[in-house]
Amino acid sequence: MYCKCGRQTLLKEVFCTGCKEKLIEGLASIEHDQWAYWAKGLMESEKNISPERLKRWKELTKIPYGFLSEEAQDVDRKLARRVMDYLKDFFCESK
């Protein structure tokens, strides 16, 4: 198969390795934005959040994905890979 960029992909892959990594980072960044949006809403409406969590969330929601710790970025990457797996299945099924 050929990637959108023209490079040949590995067997059963929709994207080449370079594009796949780029996509995972982009999707992971969106995952973080979605989490931050959700967390901000919850911090406003929920009164029973522990002070420790509130402090941690307030800090984390202000940090853009690219500036998170490697550990925190990995949590978002894990979700991004789930989207990639979904896309892979989607593209393969539609062939």
Q: Given the rule CB under 5 A, which residues bind Zn ion?
A: 3, 5, 7, 16, 19
Cα separation, 27 vs 5, in Å, equals 18
Write down the least CB distance from residue 74 to Zn ion, Å: 23
Between 5 and 92, CB nearer to Zn ion = 5
- Following DSSP, what letter does each residue of 41-86 receive, concatenated? HHHHH-S---HHHHHHHHHHHHS-GGGS-HHHHHHHHHHHHHHHHH
Between 5 and 63, CB nearer to Zn ion = 5
3-state secondary structure of 8: strand
Between 2 and 37, CB nearer to Zn ion = 2
Of residues 5, 27, 26, the one with CA closest to residue 17: 5
Write down the least CB distance from residue 9 to Zn ion, Å: 7
Write down the least CB distance from residue 91 to Zn ion, Å: 14
